């Protein structure tokens, strides 16, 4: 029997399975890298101790952060096959026709600017809808009445502008005035106002007051004026009476007989265009069968044209009676005299 020699090595030989496993693993890694380069597979993530990443690196869109600080990328979309490409091309073309359905260019996730841009692109692509006019509520319409139209406002403004001009040329109100004077100054030759009466167009008394002159009264002229000493006890001072009288006659047509004497006593000048002096109206003299250029007394004209006696007796004249008679005389020739003045306006 031959002897059998055995060469035994009691050292630990490398495990066969481990060597085979390393070879298979190497082949697997080569195939995986090949697929990764072609884009079929994502790159295999390595443990953080081998491939460390900075925490300050910005994350990509869709990445999810792990607990240990690394980022996990989502799987890439699978490529479409040729069979499905024909059917999907039509749907892509339809989507491309609508601009607001096309995806926006990729931007960094997490940035506010990207979100704003995406929202702006989406809103700008939406169809624009014209806003309907808001109807006013009933409550507001009741509180705020509708404004006047332009023609109404212009017409009203025209009438308002027209009225003041007409009132200055031809005021609707007309008054008659008569004054009684007393003598003041040296020997009483200065005529001072002692009574004034104003009546309306219809003859109603608007003002009738005794007036205290600023100077000492020398002659009361009672025979003509009807003024006595007792009338001056509670008489109105001249300055106060003058302001009251001017408030009444200013801007109105004033009728009077020899009215320049009344204005002189009032220390006032009234526009000639608003003055009607019955002592200088030729039509009155013609109606009374008197010379046209003559200055007739109020007593004579009243007797002739009104068949009434005034200024009679020793008690003196009544300024109210004289003012009423003056207005009645003017009414007799008002239409004709105003037409004459319209053609021949007096110069102030």
> What is the distance, to the nearest Å, from the Cα of residue 218 to the centroid of all Cα atoms in its chain?
64
Q: What is the pLDDT of residue 285?
A: 93
Using the 8-state DSSP alphabet, how is residue 24 labeled? H
With a cut of 50, which residues of the chain have pLDDT below it? 1, 18, 50-59, 66-68, 79-102, 105-116, 139-143, 145-171
Using the 8-state DSSP alphabet, how is residue 70 labeled? -
CB-based contacts of 331, cutoff 8 Å, min separation 6: none
Rounded to an integer, what distance in angstroms lies between the CA atom of residue 119 and that of residue 222? 105
Q: Assess contact for 292 and 215: CB atoms under 8 A.
A: no
Q: What is the pTM of this model?
A: 0.52
Using the 8-state DSSP alphabet, how is residue 214 labeled? S
Q: What is the pLDDT of residue 128?
A: 57
Q: What is the pLDDT of residue 29?
A: 85
Rounded to an integer, what distance in angstroms lies between the CA atom of residue 261 and that of residue 279? 12
Rounded to an integer, what distance in angstroms lies between the CA atom of residue 222 and that of residue 315? 7
Q: What is the pLDDT of residue 52?
A: 46
Rounded to an integer, what distance in angstroms lies between the CA atom of residue 272 and that of residue 348? 5
Q: How far is CA 264 from CA 104, 179, 219, 270, 277, in A?
A: 99, 10, 18, 10, 14
Helix axes 238-249, 259-266, angle to 10 degrees: 130
Q: What is the pLDDT of residue 254?
A: 97
Q: What is the pLDDT of residue 2?
A: 54
Helix (H) or strand (E) holding 32: helix 16-38
3-state SS track over 286-337: HHCCCCCCCCCCHHHHHHHHHCCCCCCCCCCCCHHHHHHHHHHHHHHCHHHH
Rounded to an integer, what distance in angstroms lies between the CA atom of residue 295 and that of residue 280? 7
């Amino acid at each position: 029997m031959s002897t059998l020699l055995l060469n035994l090595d009691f050292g630990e030989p490398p495990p066969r399975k481990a060597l085979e496993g390393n070879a298979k693993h190497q082949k697997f890694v080569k195939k995986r890298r090949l697929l990764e380069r072609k884009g079929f597979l994502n790159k295999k993530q390595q443990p953080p101790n081998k491939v460390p990443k900075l925490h300050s690196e910005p994350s990509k869109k869709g990445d999810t952060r792990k607990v240990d600080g690394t980022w996990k990328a989502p799987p890439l979309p699978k490529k479409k096959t040729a069979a499905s490409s024909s059917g999907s091309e039509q749907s892509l073309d339809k989507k491309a026709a609508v601009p607001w359905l096309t995806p926006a260019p990729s931007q960094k996730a997490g940035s506010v600017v990207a979100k704003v841009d995406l929202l702006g692109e989406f809103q700008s692509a939406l169809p624009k809808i014209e806003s309907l006019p808001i109807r006013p509520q009933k409550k507001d319409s009741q509180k705020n009445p509708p404004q006047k139209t332009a023609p109404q406002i212009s017409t009203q403004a025209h009438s308002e502008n027209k009225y003041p001009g007409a009132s200055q040329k031809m005021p609707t109100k007309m008054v008659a005035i008569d004054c009684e004077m007393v003598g003041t100054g040296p020997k009483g030759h200065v005529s001072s106002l002692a009574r004034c009466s104003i009546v309306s167009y219809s003859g109603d008394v608007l003002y009738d007051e005794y007036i205290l002159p600023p100077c000492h009264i020398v002659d009361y002229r009672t025979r003509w004026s009807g003024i006595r000493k007792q009338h001056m006890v509670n008489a109105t001072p001249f300055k106060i009476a003058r302001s009251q009288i001017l408030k009444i006659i200013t801007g109105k047509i004033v009728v009077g007989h020899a009215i320049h004497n009344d204005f002189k006593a009032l220390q006032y000048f009234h526009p000639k265009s608003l003055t009607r002096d019955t002592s200088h109206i030729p039509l009155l003299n013609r109606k009374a069968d008197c010379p046209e250029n003559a200055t007739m007394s109020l007593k004579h004209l009243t007797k002739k044209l009104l068949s009434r006696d005034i200024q009679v007796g020793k008690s003196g004249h009544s300024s109210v009676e004289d003012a009423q008679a003056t207005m009645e005389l003017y009414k007799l020739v008002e239409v004709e005299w105003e037409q004459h003045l319209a053609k021949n306006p007096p110069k102030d």
